[in-house]
Amino acid sequence: MEPEEFARFLQAVRAGDARAGEELARRFEPYIRRVALMRLHDPRLRRALDASDVCQSVLRRFLEGARAGRFALDGPEQLAALLVRMTVNRIITVARRAAREEGTPPPEWDPIDPAPSPFQHLLRADLVEAARRHLAGEELALFEAHYVQRREWADLAAEWGRSPQALRMRLARALARVRTVLDDEEDNYAR
């Protein structure tokens, strides 16, 4: 989305335009859902919340905040990053509430298996494949080092001669671009 088009879109969202709200949901709901699914790995949490609940909650809260003028966004990448943060915060809030309400499980209960579920393996494999398809050069090397080899940001920063925050932001922006491409591919596939 071009900057001028995004500015008009955001203005329409702030004005409460129903079509702009529908467009927001159409463009960003699959993205929010993927983020939520990647975070909802604890079975107890999945009993308290599902990805659809998260999507509806995040979109509603964003629309309320946008109408109140709380968000200053320059482009779709910033909007995507904000929606990711809102999604993660929503899941954290529900997880904390569920933990408080549940308390300690009885001793006869089996602990939750910390190993990733088959679905999480599939999501991770999809992310790795998409990143390898759409990233190149230093961004791909950074992705491989952090996500595939699981190297720490501090180690990478020392090796690359940059701050951990700078490397995190560079990779976050690169992955936001990949997500945009994936969303476009998904939209084209759905047509």
- Each residue's pLDDT, cut to its tens digit, for the chain (191 residues) gives 788 888 898 899 999 899 998 999 888 888 888 888 888 777 777 777 788 888 899 999 999 999 888 888 888 888 988 998 899 888 888 878 777 766 665 566 566 666 666 766 666 777 788 888 889 999 999 999 998 898 999 999 999 999 999 999 999 899 888 888 877 776 665 45
Model pTM score = 0.53
- Residue 76: CA count within 13 A, CB half-sphere: 21
Residue ranges of the chain assigned to CATH 1.10.1740? 1-113
Q: Tell which CATH architecture fits domain 1-113.
A: Orthogonal Bundle (1.10)
Residues in contact with 51: Cβ distance below 8 Å, sequence separation at least 6, in sequence order: 33, 36, 37, 40
Query: Domain 115-191 - what CATH class?
Result: mainly alpha
Q: Please count the other Cβ atoms lying within 10 Å of the Cβ belonging to residue 175.
A: 20
Residues in contact with 18: Cβ distance below 8 Å, sequence separation at least 6, in sequence order: none
Residue ranges of the chain assigned to CATH 1.10.10? 115-191
